[in-house]
Structures are given as structure tokens and as C-alpha cells.
Amino acid sequence: MTSYSNKWKKKKLSNMIITAVLLVAGLLMVAPFIYMISVSLERTANLIPPFPPRIIPEDLSSFNYMLAFESGEIITAYLNSFITTSGGVILGVITSLLGGYAFSKGNFKGKKVIFVIVLSTMMIPFQTRLIPMHRMFYNFGLTNTYWAIILPRMLDGFGILLCKQFFDQLPNSLREAAQIDGGTELNIFRRVFLPLTGPITATLVILSFMACWNDFLWPLIALTKNSLQTIPVYMSSFATQDSNGYLAGLTMATATLSILPIVLVFLALQKYIIESIALSGIKGE
């Protein structure tokens, strides 16, 4: 009896130690965010970055945020990111749902071959396609338009794979019942299957939102006009202008604003986002 309670006590103690260690490590992970926010709220941070570093600003003010908004460039960048991200997400989700459904429930010539091609698209790095993609969009006069960012999202091999696996889990009897009632394939998809796709659609939206919002290389190449910069491209051009490090306050305010939307989305949906990522890792094997 005593040895049992001793063991239990020992376990409790070790849990406390582990929790404390993880808490320190976890705080280290969020420390850059804390530093970023605290410097952004320091009025005098543009003359001298606060030193020694402190968490609570001495001269608390929203001055740097006013400065960040002053030129209006960041609002344009928000708008550009918002349009290209939502367009890309919608296009990618539609393509993946329809494609995944066809590969799961369809019966047609070339199914296996096309599916292998879809899977192999995941292996080819984007940079291999970069130059021809740019020349193609340039020749069609589509560089420096939102289409350049939105249209390539029509290709999402991983999204198609996730959707195929999702539809594979739904019983074929659903289709057969609807077929006897004489429904066309399109109607069967729309009436029977589409209402069931809530969870997989949410996963696709989350994964594709994160990919689109943070995408850097392609928008950097395809959108060269300042008025069309997305948030990451705007941030990067901002960083190269400020390489002397004398505008810490403004830089941190801009950085805070640039990650705010995705952090808010994450905090609101953290459970689903973490589940989606975990799913992508388990399926990815």
C-alpha cells in the first residue's frame, strides 16, 4: 500500500517537473512574439531599440501602428493578400473535392494513370516550374494581376489525395440508392455527397489558407508592382529598406500587423488546425 502511494507521489512529482520544463521551453517559443509586440508598443523604439530588452514598454503608445498605417501600403497589401488567398482557396477546394470524388467513386478509362500523375505532382518542387510559369503568365499578360496568384491553385495534388481518401470512407451504397432513383452523377454528388464534405472541406480550407497567405516566392515574381504586393512580399521589401536596424518600432508594428490575421484564425480554430496538420502527417505516410 505504501509503495503504491509512493509510486503515485513520484509520478505526480515527475509530472510537475516535466510541466515546468515544457513551460519554460514553450515560453521560449513565444518569446519572439512577446518581444515583437512589446517593441512595437514602445514609442521611442525607432530612435533606440529598447535596451536592456524589457517586456513591458516604458513609453507605451500606439504611435508605431499609426506610422505603419500612415502610407496606406499595408492596407493595400492586406487587400491583395485577402483577394488572392480567398480566390486561391476557393479554386483549390473546388478542384480537390471534384477530383477526389472522381478518383474515389468514378469508373473511367485512364483512372490509374491520371491518379499516378496527380500523386507525382507532389514530388516535383515548385522551383522546377518557376521560369516557364512566369513566362506563360507574362505572355498572356497575366503577370501583375490577381489571376497569376489564384489560377495555379487549381493544382493541388495533396488536396485531391486527401479528398479521395475521405470519399473512400463513405459507403458506395449511398450512390447506389440515388442511382436507382435515376439521379445523374452531378446530382448525386451535389445532393448526396456534398452535404457530407464539411470536415474535409474545413481541413482543405485551413491547409490551403496557410499555404496561400504565407506564400512568398511566386507572388514575389508574378507581382512586381508595389500596388499589388501581398503581405509577405511587402514585409520583405520593408526589411531590405530597413537593414540598418534604426526603425525597430515601425518594423515590429508592421510585422505584428502582418501575422495578426493568421494568428487570430489559428487561435480561433487551433483544435481543427492542429488536427488537420496531424491528419496530413498520418495520411502522408
Partner 1 sequence: MQPTMKTISSKNHKKMKEQSYVWYLFLLPALIGIILFMVYPVLESFRLSFFSSNGVKETFVGISNYTQLILKEEVFWKAIFNTFYMAIFQVAIAVPLGFVIATLINNLPHFKDLFKVLFFIPYITSLVAASMVFMYLFHPEMGPINYLLESIGLPGINWLSDPLSAKWAVIILGIWNWMGFVIVICIANLQTIPAQLYEAAEIDGANSFQKFAYITTPKMMPTFSFLLIMGFIRTLQRFGETYTIGGLEGSPMRSLYTIVGFIYDRGFNGTEYGLASAAAYILFMIIMVVTLINMKLSKMNV
Residues 157-196 that bind partner 1 (CB under 8 A): 160, 184-186, 189
User: Interface with partner 1 includes 248 (CB under 8 A)?
Assistant: yes
Using CB under 8 A as the binding rule, whether residue 67 contacts partner 1 is answered as no
Cell 507572388 -> residue: 219
Nine cell digits for residue 201:
472541406
Q: How far is the CB of 26 from partner 1 (least distance, A)?
A: 4
Among 2, 3, 72, 132, binds partner 1 (CB under 8 A): 132
Note whether 250 binds partner 1 by CB under 8 A: no
Counting contacts by CB under 8 A, is residue 126 touching partner 1? yes
- Determine if 80 is a binding residue for partner 1 (CB under 8 A): no
Q: How far is the CB of 1 from partner 1 (least distance, A)?
A: 19
Least distance (Å) between residue 235 CB and partner 1: 5
* Site residues (CB under 8 A) for partner 1, limited to 255-284: 255, 258-259, 262-263, 266-267, 270-271, 273-274, 277-279, 281-282, 284
Cell 529598447 locates to 50
| Nearer to partner 1 among residue 5 and residue 127 (C-beta) | 127
Interaction of residue 142 with partner 1, rule CB under 8 A? no
Q: Select the residue interacting with partner 1 from 51, 56, 113, 195 (CB under 8 A).
A: 51
Only one of the segments 72-80, 82-90, 195-203, 213-221 lies at the binding site for partner 1 (rule: CB under 8 A); that segment is: 213-221
Which of 9, 53, 62, 116 is in the footprint of partner 1 by CB under 8 A?
53
At 92, which amino acid appears?
A: G
Q: Long-range CB contacts (< 8 A, 24+ apart) of 256-261?
A: 256/36, 256/37, 256/40, 257/65, 257/68, 257/74, 258/74, 258/77, 258/231, 258/232, 258/234, 261/78, 261/213
Distance between CA 168 and CA 115 in Å, rounded? 14
Least distance from C-beta 90 to partner 1, angstroms?
11
Rounded to whole angstroms, the Cα distance separating 162 from 156 reads 10
Determine contact, residues 128/217, Cβ cutoff 8 Å.
Answer: no
Is 8 a residue that touches partner 1 (CB under 8 A)? Answer: no
Q: Of the candidates 135, 190, 191, 225, which one interacts with partner 1 according to CB under 8 A?
A: 135
CA–CA dist 133, 281 (Å, integer)? 29
